[in-house]
Amino acid sequence: MKRTMSRAARHPWFEIIRRQLPLALLTILIVALAVPAAMLVAPALTGQRPNPESTESAVPAWQQVPRDLSLPQGISPLKDSAPVPWPDTLAAQLDATLKTDGGGSFTGVVQDAATGQVLFDRDGAGGRVPASNMKLLTAAAALRAIGPDQRFSTTVVAGAEAGSVVLTGGGDVLLGAGESSRDAVMGHAGLATLAGLTVKSLQENGVKGPVQVRLDDSLFTGPALNPTWSPDDVAAGETAPLFPLALNSARYDPAVTTGPRPQDAAMAAAEAFSAQLTAAGAAAGLSVTAGVERAKAPESGRVLAEVQSATLRQQVDLMLQTSDNYLAEVLGRLAAVATGQPGSNDGATATVYQQVQDLGIPTDGLRVADVSGLSLGNQVSAGQLSEIVRAITSGTEHSLRAAIGGFPVAGLTGTLGSRYTDASTEGGAGLVRAKTGTLNFVIALSGYVVDADGRLLVFSFIGNGLEPGAAGNRTALDRTASALASCGCR
């Protein structure tokens, strides 16, 4: 039987609808999914207040707590059109927070990083004891004089006497006792690795033993302790006599960063190397004579083995994050050596002063008694520290950018990791990045922040003559830096 079609089925509009029906259904599905998404996006487009339990999309990226702690290579995002805070409005906010707890006084400077315009100035040219904020000058000086990608070698050189080897310090005081750890800064170069390479080289040269270990730590000269340091600070382990090689930044244990340190860190490292050489040599049938003596490596001595440190940028990062006094002093001496000066206290302080001057930063009143900040003889103004931070974050010398990642992050890393946790300061958590400084009657904070309008600000606040142990002084600094972070001061 022949099937017939109805009139409606034969109409051309019916055929169009039949063909387009799948597309129409798909469109309906897309619309159905898009509506909820639009409801989430709409507040950001319309300016409506978002649900506090929804997303962070209404908060600028630079004002959100970072999701990871990868080291920044620059400061971003920044907008050229971001408004600069009004000085009077900013001063009113900072004057309300920058108050001492008891005696003493605070000085301070805030600058627009892009232009250098001073937005806040409270005796910013006055010389102050800066405590560990001095390390910012040392970081900049070392990066300029040495270069951020430089590594320091610890070598074993064939001695003048048959069978003797000379462990020679090249500036690495972050040596580990075990195998080299490529992903670490502390322990990047290991004495066990150096010993294994030495045994292999001795075997290749037909040395049967016994082997005598010598130590050459002559890279540094002059007194091993800065004469302006308090003996009490040395006894407490704030620092130690300086040498061009050491284990764990002159600590007995890398995990224990307080308490007494080795008083001869170079010899301690040499004895640890001798022990590793004895163990490695025993497996190869090579004996090692007990005991280590000091002796200068022959200038023409053959290098038998070598291990290299982490890069200078990584060491600067560690120095700033942990405020390591010993490492800071070593980097100052290495900067001196790199510029042809003696690797001594005087060489280090003269080099840091000269490098600051060469950056174009006024040095009126600047006194550099040490390069770690332990000395009460240091005098640095808040304006000079603010200019150093500005040079690091946005200056013309890009080698200084290597220090950016070393600034502790408020509430998250380094010496700021346990701060910015109460209601009066938590607004700066994850946003303020600054170097701390603390002595008995001194407290300081210098760093940078991108404010609520997207403007990069650099700052330095220094308190001197303070009541020792007064908790309100640290809170005052943290509240002041938090005020900068939330500033839309117009």
CA distance 139 to 467: 29
Q: What's the rounded Cα separation, in Å, for the pair 446 and 143?
A: 19
Q: What is the DSSP letter of 402?
A: G
Question: H/E element holding 165?
Answer: strand 164-168
Report the 10 Å Cβ neighbour count for 56.
Answer: 11
From residue 77, give the alpha-carbon distance in Å to each of 59, 451, 455: 13, 11, 9
| Beta strands 442-450; 433-439: pairing state | antiparallel
Note if 300 is an active site residue: no
Q: Are strands 164-168 and 211-216 parallel, antiparallel or unpaired?
A: parallel
Backbone angles phi, psi at 341, to 5 degrees: -95, 160
Rounded CA gap, 76 and 61, in Å?
Answer: 9
Q: Is 323 a catalytic residue?
A: yes
Residue of 164, 323, 344, 394 marked catalytic: 323
Q: How far apart are CA 266 and CA 375, in angstroms?
A: 24
Active site (annotated) includes residue 135: yes
- In 3D, which of 361, 362, 369 has the Cα closest to residue 392? 361
Q: What share of the chain is helix, strand, coil (3-state, %, to 5)?
A: 40, 15, 45
Please list the active-site residues: 132, 135, 323
